[in-house]
Amino acid sequence: TIELDLTGQHWVITAGPTMEAIDPVRYISNHSSGKMGYALAASAIARGAKVTLISGPVQINAPAGANVIAVKSADDMLAACEQSMSSQADVFIGAAAVADFKMKTATNQKMKKQSDTDEVTLTLVKNPDIIATLAQQKRAKIMVGFAAETQNLIDYAKGKLERKGLDIIIANDVSRADIGFNQDDNQVTVITQDKTWSPDKTTKNALAGQLVECIIEFSLRTSIS
Ligand code: C5P
């Protein structure tokens, strides 16, 4: 229907892992494939949105028509988000698996093996919480996050909704081997202040379409009231 048309809207989506340098040749990262974020970008583009896809290093192709900004670290991802939302976006979706920690001081030179010790200690510090920072700055009218949990799915996800200042959180159970990280399928629960909704398990592509519709319905519902 015409009201689900996103022409004229700007959506910003983060996807994939971040990569945190230890030294010039080594890094800390995770197994995020980027599939969910890329599928969301494709769905929003299909409905007419202008989409900026801010992506960590992934092995999949960007959807046609996306404005892709390739980043590595969480710091770079935050900077790219702030820059692309210098004027307020309509929707921000944080689908990236941001590394929680980075090196306190990444070295400019390759770390050498010390022959006299079997142990090495890396000092890590917290990365910025990208979506919480952007929510505080009101960089988008609607802020959507993901919550990967292994227990107490709804409670933990609701906590994140509040703490990070989000409008919608999409929770998934990553203890299940058949969904989530690196899988083509996903099963999620969509949580807002006043509603929860659990669509059936399906492909990330099909789910992305349903999630985009859900976000649009939320925006219509909250802009009317
Ligand atoms: O706190 P947790 O990592 O479980 O939160 C997940 C949500 O927060 C996702 O939407 C993720 O993209 C976002 N996030 C972020 N910056 C971080 C950590 C998570 O934007 N440093």
For residue 80, give the CATH number of its domain.
3.40.50.10300
The annotation status of 100 as a binding-site residue, yes or no, is: yes
| Ligand 1 neighbourhood includes 36 CB (under 6 angstroms) | no
Q: Is the CB of 40 under 6 A from ligand 1?
A: no
User: Does 59 reside within a domain?
Assistant: yes
- In the chain, the number of structural domains is 1
In a domain, 33, yes or no: yes
Q: Is the CB of 145 under 6 A from ligand 1?
A: yes
Sign of the Cα torsion 97, 51, 210, 93 reads: positive
Q: Is 146 annotated as a binding residue?
A: yes
Name the residue range of residue 204's domain: 2-103+121-224
User: In whole angstroms, what is the distance from residue 29 CA to residue 39 CA?
Assistant: 21
138 annotated among ligand-binding-site residues: no
pLDDT of residue 89: 98
Residue 60 domain flag: yes
Does 111 reside within a domain? no
Q: What pLDDT is recorded for position 1?
A: 54
158 labeled part of a ligand binding site: no
Indicate whether 77 belongs to any domain.
yes
Place of tokens 């306190």: 104
- Rounded to whole angstroms, the Cα distance separating 26 from 37 reads 25
CA pair distance 188, 171, nearest whole angstrom: 5
Residue 115, in any domain of the structure: no
Residue 110 lies in a domain: no
Please tell me the predicted confidence (pLDDT) of residue 175. Answer: 87
Q: What is the pLDDT of residue 110?
A: 93
Cα(116) to centroid(ligand 1), Å? 39
Residue 135 counted as domain residue: yes
Residues 6 or more apart in contact with residue 214 via CB below 8 angstroms: 168, 190, 197
Q: Determine the Cα–Cα distance for residues 186 and 195; give it in Å rounded to an integer.
A: 20
Mean pLDDT for each 10-residue chunk of the chain (225 residues)? 85 98 96 95 98 98 98 98 98 98 93 87 97 98 96 96 98 84 86 94 94 95 75
State residue 134 phi and psi, 5-degree precision. Answer: -70, -35
Q: Please report the atom of ligand 1 found closest to the CA of residue 128.
A: 21
Q: Report the alpha-carbon distance of residue 202 to residue 184 in Å, rounded.
A: 9
Indicate if ligand 1 lies below 6 Å from the C-beta of 39: no
| 209 in contact with ligand 1, CB cutoff 6 A | no
Instruction: Give the global pTM.
Output: 0.95
- The residues annotated as belonging to the active site are 30
| Ligand 1 midpoint to CA 225 (Å) | 29
Q: What is the pLDDT of residue 184?
A: 83
Structure letter (DSSP) for residue 61? P
Give residue 134 CA to ligand 1 midpoint distance, Å.
Answer: 11
